[in-house]
Each structure stands twice: as C-alpha cells, then as structure tokens.
Amino acid sequence: MKRNIQTILLAVLLILAPIASSSNPSNTKSKSSFVIGQRIPDYETARMVFWKELYNGGGKTLYCGKKLKSSYNKGVNIEHVFPASWVAYSLRCGKRKQCRLNSPQFNLIEADLHNLYPARSDINKARSNYRYAIIRGEQRVFGKCDFEFDEYQRIAEPAPEARGRIARAMLYMADEYDLYLKKKLKQLLLAWDKKYPPEPVEYKRNNRIEKL
C-alpha cells in the first residue's frame, strides 16, 4: 500500500518496524511472554499486556487525563480509538463476536496496542463507536472532563489535549491495515495531527510498545 508523506512520518513516530514486519503469528521469540512472533494474537492477550506491562507504572486516561494507579483502577477500562466495529465493517467479517471467531486478521488488529488507551468507563461508553468531530457549544455532562458527545448525530468531541494522540492512532490504523475512513473525518484527523504534535509522553508510550 502506498504511503504518503504524512503516514510515513506517522510510522516513524510510532516506531512500528518490528510490529509491521510480520502479518501473521510465527514462532519468533518475543521480548514479552504474551506475544507470539512480535504480534499480540488477540484482544484478551492485549488486555493483559496493556495493564501488566504497558501501564503497570501508572499513567493517565486518554479523554480526561485522570491519573492511574499502578494496580487496580476502578472506573477505568480500555478504549479502542479506532472502533472495533469499524474494523469489522472494513473486513466484512460480521459482528465483533463473529469476527473474533472467524477472522485471525481481525484478532490481530483488535489487539494492536497503538490503538488502545485507558479511558474512564463512562466516557468510553458515551463515545461508543461515534466518529470524532467538533460539536458547537460546551454541553459538558462529565464535570470538569472536556468531552462532549451527540447521540443524534453520533459524534464525539475530545479535549484538545487528546486530539493529537487520537488522530495519530486513527490514521495509523487506517493506513497500516487498509481500514476505511470517511474523507471528512480523515481531513479533521490530519488537521489535529498537525495542530497537536506529539509530546514526550507519547514518544515514551510508543517506545514501550515497541519493546514489548
């Protein structure tokens, strides 16, 4: 698949060479005991790696910046920035549960750590699989957390602090796995990527993922 300058820079940022080098699991020894052939085989395995290795030292949630403990975090779960239902749609493998049973490719994509972030469970539920957009007005329903959503339009607006990370995760997923993105959404994500460049914490996270 041809990559434009934007996605080439994105790939450099995410340090994806070891992950992208193999499209299928192999017997190659991995740095993480959870990983087979440098690919996490499914989402259940990804969840263990996520909490036990990637966020075992704490961190912050994606949408609200809530500090995480190094152990159990009540009210926090894992957000697929690029929705798993969108992946299923692109692969034409059925619903999410069907895809898990019938599509090894879906399982690999669903388990990609670059697309997984900790999120408050109520925010994750509200976001659902809505596309990201700008919502006029500040109709906040989550207290100080700058996150809005519109059930009628099926859109969600994250805080400016989260937009760059969201954009790079979405663009990476679409490019790496040839997943469908609407033109209007892609334009917004490219704008966010440019306006909100990566910070040291984002580089650190991606370096940790590369080492797993």
Q: If you write DSSP's letter for every residue of 20-58 in order, what string do you get?
A: HT-SS--S---SSTT-BTTB--SHHHHHHHIIIIISTT-
* pLDDT confidence bin for 38, thresholds 50/70/90: low
Mean pLDDT of 14-26: 38
Most confident of 19-33, 38-52, 125-139, 154-168: 154-168
Extents of the domains making up the chain = 5-211
* pLDDT confidence bin for 23, thresholds 50/70/90: very low
* pLDDT confidence bin for 13, thresholds 50/70/90: low
Mean pLDDT of 81-90: 98
Is the pLDDT at 152 greater than 80? The verdict is yes
Instruction: Give the torsion sign (CA, 62, 68, 73, 74).
Output: negative
Distance CA 204, CA 202 (A): 5
pTM: 0.84
In the chain, the amino acid numbered 33 is S
- Please give the share of the chain, as a percent, with pLDDT higher than 70: 82
Mean pLDDT of 50-67: 94
Contact 37, 29 (CB under 8 A): no
The pLDDT, as a whole number, for residue 35 is: 45
* Total residue count of the chain as it appears in this document: 212
* pLDDT confidence bin for 4, thresholds 50/70/90: very low
Contacts made by residues 156-159, CB under 8 angstroms, sequence distance 24+: 156/126, 156/127, 156/128, 156/130, 156/131, 156/132, 157/132, 157/133, 158/62, 158/63, 158/132, 159/63, 159/64, 159/65
More confident residue, 19 or 137: 137
